Amino acid sequence: MKIKLKVKRTDPEKGTTGYSKYEIEAPESTTLLDALIQVREYEDGSLALRCSCRSAICGSCSMRVDGRARLACRAKIIALTRGDESHELSVEAMGNMPVIKDLVNDMESFWAKMRSVDPYLRPVGPEPEAEYRVPNETMIDLTHTMNCIMCGACVSDCTVLEVDKSFIAPAALAKAYRFAGDPRDGHTHDRLEKLSEAGGIWDCTRCNMCVEVCPKGVAPMNRILQMREMALEAGLTNNTGARHTNIFTKSITDGGRLNEIWMVPGSVGMFNLPRILTEMPGALKMARVGKLPFNQMIPPGMPGSHKMQGMDRVRNLIRKSASLKAPKPEVKD
């Protein structure tokens, strides 16, 4: 099989970037990592990339292929090109992190965020003499998160991080779940409280990108959503994200549709005038195009608030969806 690669090169010593094109012959079973190693060993010894285990356990070889983060050792060339030998694969370093050289990222920001979630077990009370007694189901659930190999693919393609560098981002939040969900840990409430602050669990926009690019089925976004539920159950509602969720839910269960008038005050706080004022230009724009229906002036839940027709059916739907759980995603390559 013929393989065509166009690799983005970064030369830190000259301060230049550019592209190198390679064409190699390799068997059909070849992965992207095999191809790059073949290039490095027999075509161009100056190509820099990280790799070690070849079996998706060390997490070294994440990079972007045709614009999407992948673990090179898990990516079969034939699947990437859909068998089209003329397809030139575009390969570059991960996004959202600086590049040291060629396909090698500087991952310090990744690790700094990991450290920011207190990523170590903090039990309270005396250590048991033997092991902690905990349910197997919980351990299996946490093992799915421990499957994370810190490859950085989810951080590379996180759409929130692209615009907001303070976002803790999927990998570290998944790590946080591994402790928040661990019955041996004694600081669940503190952890959730800290995670509810700006940059934390409520800043995810649920774009699902991290779930799609994760090569290990960790599904970071689902862990973030699980922690949101845990935070609400723990009564951690005094923050924009939680209030937004609550006013959203209240609006739908009460009237059947999103009450755009009360959404902002309900999220940022009813008396948070400075913050509400910053939203005014947007609100006026919405009013001009008729997106702020004035029959919704009464806040959801108050006597006389607006109700759409067929509220019984809406409430039924809500009851049904509440009993559903997010399925564990299939890992796609």
Partner 1 sequence: MAVYEHDVLVIGAGLAGMRAAIAAQQMGADVAMISKVHPVRSHSNAAQGGINGPGVGEDGGPWEEHAYETTKASDYLGDQDAIEVLAKEGGREVLQTEHWGVVYSRKPDGSMAVRRFGGMGKARTFFVGAITGQAILHVLYEQLMRPSVYKAMRNYEEWFVTSLIMDEGQCRGAVAMNIRTGELHAITAKATIVCTGGLGRVYEPSTNALICTGDGISLAYRAGAPIMDMEMVQIHPTSLKGSGVLITEGARGEGAYLLNKDGERFMTKYAPSMMELASRDVVSRAEQTEIDEGRGVDGCVFLDMRHLGEDLIKERLEEIYEIARDLVNIDIAKELLPILPGVHYIMGGVKTDVDGLTSIPGLYSAGEAACVSVHGANRVGANSLLDTLVFGRRAADHAWPWMQGKTFKPIPESVVEKDRAMIRGIMDRPTNGDRIAKIRRDMGMSMSANVGLFRTPERIQKQLDTLKELRARYEKVGVEDKGKVFNTDLLFHIELGYMLDCAEMITKSALERKESRGAHTRLDYPNRDDVNWLKHIVLTLQPDGSEKMTYQPVTITQWQPQERKY
The smaller minimum CB distance to partner 1, of residues 165 and 332, is found at 332
**Minimal distance in Å, beta carbon 215 to partner 1?**
9
The smaller minimum CB distance to partner 1, of residues 11 and 229, is found at 11
**Minimal distance in Å, beta carbon 157 to partner 1?**
20
Q: Give the long-range contacts of residues 136-139, CB within 8 A, separation 24 or more.
A: 138/181, 138/182, 138/183
**Minimal distance in Å, beta carbon 78 to partner 1?**
10
What burial letters (b/e) apply to 15-35, b meaning 16+ CB within 10 Å? eeeeebebebeeeeebbbbbb
**Minimal distance in Å, beta carbon 44 to partner 1?**
7
Among residues 122, 212, 209, 123, the alpha carbon closest in space to that of 167 is found at: 209
**Minimal distance in Å, beta carbon 5 to partner 1?**
17
Cα dist from 305 to 257, 264, 296, whole Å: 12, 17, 7
The smaller minimum CB distance to partner 1, of residues 181 and 200, is found at 181
The smaller minimum CB distance to partner 1, of residues 104 and 286, is found at 104
The smaller minimum CB distance to partner 1, of residues 128 and 310, is found at 128
**Minimal distance in Å, beta carbon 289 to partner 1?**
50
Q: Write the DSSP string, 238-284.
A: -SHHHHHHHHHHHHHHHHSS--HHHHHHHHH-TT-HHHHHHTHHHHH
The smaller minimum CB distance to partner 1, of residues 44 and 190, is found at 44
Angle at the Cα of 134 from the Cα atoms of 327 and 176, rounded to 5 degrees: 55
Helices 240-255 and 260-268, axial angle in degrees (round to 10) = 150
The smaller minimum CB distance to partner 1, of residues 105 and 196, is found at 105
- Cα distance between residue 123 and residue 175, in whole Å: 16
**Minimal distance in Å, beta carbon 142 to partner 1?**
5
Q: Give the long-range contacts of residues 79-86, CB within 8 A, separation 24 or more.
A: 79/333, 80/32, 81/3, 85/1, 85/2, 85/3, 85/4, 86/4
Binding site for partner 1 (CB under 8 A): 11-13, 29, 31, 40-42, 44-46, 48-60, 74, 76, 100-102, 104, 107, 114-115, 119-121, 123, 127-128, 130-136, 139-140, 142-143, 146-147, 149-150, 179, 182, 184, 331, 333
